[in-house]
């Protein structure tokens, strides 16, 4: 007789259904996640804080509500974790930095944590990240690198590297992260999981530590499209505590996934998005195109220039945020982050003005494209996860710095706030992601395409291959 499944191996949807049906207790689900963290995180280094006492208390409350016949939310008993730039009551909000550890502990959770827990989810901890979210590699000089669950000698991606590592490594079924220039989509690609960067302003950023306020998005990671949608639905809604958050009411997507592709018009992004690729990135896009029977290629005008403008805006806004810290505690920064922020502080104002004017023009041009198509397909990263510490790679015959160029295909999209689902294509020896890009407020469209690819078996989150239950590395 086969043994019952380990709750740590169950999807969020399956956990919530089992807890609601009293086939599994929320405490059992929390304990399984905490045990998995203890067994595997010694290798992955995904967590910076484990909130075990809080998790068990919340799980007991969920179980008590069920025993009393009270209604429970759609995420009842589901363990989750958050990038450590989210405020977690009782913890200082690190944002991946040394300096922030001296901050007073947060007195209240971030809005998205509150909404996840209102839906019944159970917070088990905070996750490693690149310092102040200015990172694409997942390598943190203060906490050590978060490692790839398929090969711990490789990068998890950044800046939400701990989120990608935790979900890809099976520590939690759902995690939250942030994406300014690609920090949800890059870890999703490298770690072989699904990630959603929603439309700019769709999900509240209240009580999270910012990087670039005009570009910052928050969103979920998961190992299935259903779980991604479930978490996304739980977090929607206006929030007066975030001035950029939309006044639109919640627009649930979970019940739309089964609609399939229907008459959606899907094209391959050309031009910039077909350059600067390793063979595996091109193969991933090709597999998606073949599965969806795509033939139309549409050039996204001036995407390379959009990436350059995104850099200008990111580094200048980031520098402005950190000027006092740069003056008072320069020695406590990651030198690479510090130097980029200092450079941003010296960019002339006319250049920033030009970047912002170009941003408005570029957004209008891309929105024009969505009059003739509903979805664009593009690579998420130019390569599979590089080795930890790798400084350069060769793209189109040119040796380039890894850190600066991992986001070459994500930055032109987040620059104008479009919703994107990153889907994992399980190639060998490592997975790699593809971006499913939709028009503003059309997350449901991107998720429908992602779900169709999952149903076709093209997109899938492979089981972690780089960690064993005793915390050691696999061969």
- Catalytically annotated residues: 83, 159, 183
Instruction: State the Cα–Cα distance between residues 321 and 334, nearest whole angstrom.
Output: 16
CB atoms within 10 A of CB 119: 19
What are the C-alpha distances in Å from 146 to residues 41, 83, 124, 266? 9, 12, 17, 35
Instruction: State the Cα–Cα distance between residues 139 and 129, nearest whole angstrom.
Output: 8
CB under 8 Å to 28, separation ≥6 — which residues? Answer: 7
Instruction: State the Cα–Cα distance between residues 52 and 35, nearest whole angstrom.
Output: 10
Taking the mean position of all CA atoms in its chain, how far away is CA 149? Answer: 15
Peptide bond connecting 179 to the previous residue in cis, omega within 30 degrees of 0:
no
Plot region of 29 (φ>0 → left; ψ -120 to 50 → alpha; else → beta)? alpha
What are the C-alpha distances in Å from 112 to residues 23, 329, 381? 28, 31, 27
CB atoms within 10 A of CB 335: 10
Question: Shortest CA distance to 79 belongs to which of 60, 63, 59?
Answer: 59
Instruction: State the Cα–Cα distance between residues 220 and 74, nearest whole angstrom.
Output: 15
Provide φ and ψ at 147, rounded to 5°: -115, 155
Residue 466: burial class (beta carbons within 10 Å; 0-12, 13-18, 19+): buried
Instruction: State the Cα–Cα distance between residues 473 and 68, nearest whole angstrom.
Output: 44
Provide φ and ψ at 44, rounded to 5°: -75, -35
CB under 8 Å to 392, separation ≥6 — which residues? Answer: 399, 400, 401, 402
Q: Tell me how many degrees the CA angle 81-13-161 measures, rounded to the nearest 5.
A: 30
CB under 8 Å to 448, separation ≥6 — which residues? Answer: 256, 257, 259, 260, 261, 262, 264
């Amino acid at each position: 007789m086969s043994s019952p499944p380990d709750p740590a191996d169950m999807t969020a949807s399956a956990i919530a259904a089992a807890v609601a049906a009293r086939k599994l207790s929320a405490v059992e689900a929390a304990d399984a996640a905490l045990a998995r963290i203890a067994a595997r995180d010694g290798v992955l280094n995904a967590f910076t804080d484990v909130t075990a006492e809080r998790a068990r208390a919340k799980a007991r409350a969920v179980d008590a509500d069920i025993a009393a016949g009270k209604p429970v939310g759609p995420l009842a008993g589901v363990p989750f974790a958050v990038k450590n730039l989210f405020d977690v009551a009782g913890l200082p909000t690190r944002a991946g930095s040394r300096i922030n550890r001296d901050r007073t502990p947060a007195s209240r959770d971030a809005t998205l944590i509150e909404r996840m827990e209102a839906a019944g989810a159970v917070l088990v901890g905070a996750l490693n990240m690149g310092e102040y979210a200015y990172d694409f590699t997942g390598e943190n000089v203060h906490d050590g690198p978060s490692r790839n669950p398929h090969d711990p000698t490789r990068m998890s991606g950044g800046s939400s590297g701990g989120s990608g590592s935790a979900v890809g490594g099976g520590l939690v079924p759902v995690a939250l992260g942030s994406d300014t220039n690609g920090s949800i989509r890059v870890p999703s690609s490298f770690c072989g999981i699904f990630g959603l960067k929603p439309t700019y302003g769709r999900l509240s950023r209240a009580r999270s530590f910012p990087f670039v306020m005009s570009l910052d998005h928050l969103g979920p990671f998961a190992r299935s499209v259903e779980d991604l949608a479930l978490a996304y639905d739980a977090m929607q809604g206006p929030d007066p505590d975030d001035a950029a958050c939309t006044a639109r009411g919640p627009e649930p997507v979970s019940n739309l996934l089964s609609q399939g592709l229907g008459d959606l018009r899907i094209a391959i992004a050309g031009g910039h998005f077909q350059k600067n690729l390793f063979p595996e990135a091109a193969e991933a896009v090709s597999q998606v195109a073949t599965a969806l029977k795509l033939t139309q290629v549409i050039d996204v005008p001036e995407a390379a220039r959009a990436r350059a403008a995104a850099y200008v805006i990111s580094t200048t806004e980031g520098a402005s945020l950190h000027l006092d810290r740069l003056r008072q505690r320069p020695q406590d920064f990651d030198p690479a982050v510090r130097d980029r922020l200092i450079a941003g502080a010296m960019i002339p104002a006319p250049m920033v003005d030009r970047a912002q004017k170009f941003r408005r023009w570029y957004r209008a041009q891309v929105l024009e494209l969505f009059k003739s198509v509903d979805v664009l397909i593009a690579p998420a990263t130019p390569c599979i996860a590089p080795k930890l510490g790798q400084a350069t790679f060769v793209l189109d015959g040119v040796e380039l710095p890894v850190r600066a160029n991992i986001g070459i295909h994500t930055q032109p999209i987040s620059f104008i706030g479009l919703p994107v689902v990153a889907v994992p294509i399980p190639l060998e020896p490592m997975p790699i992601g593809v971006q499913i890009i939709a028009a503003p407020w059309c997350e449901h469209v991107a998720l429908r395409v992602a779900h169709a690819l999952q149903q076709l078996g093209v997109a899938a989150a492979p089981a972690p291959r780089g960690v064993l239950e005793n915390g050691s590395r696999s061969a």
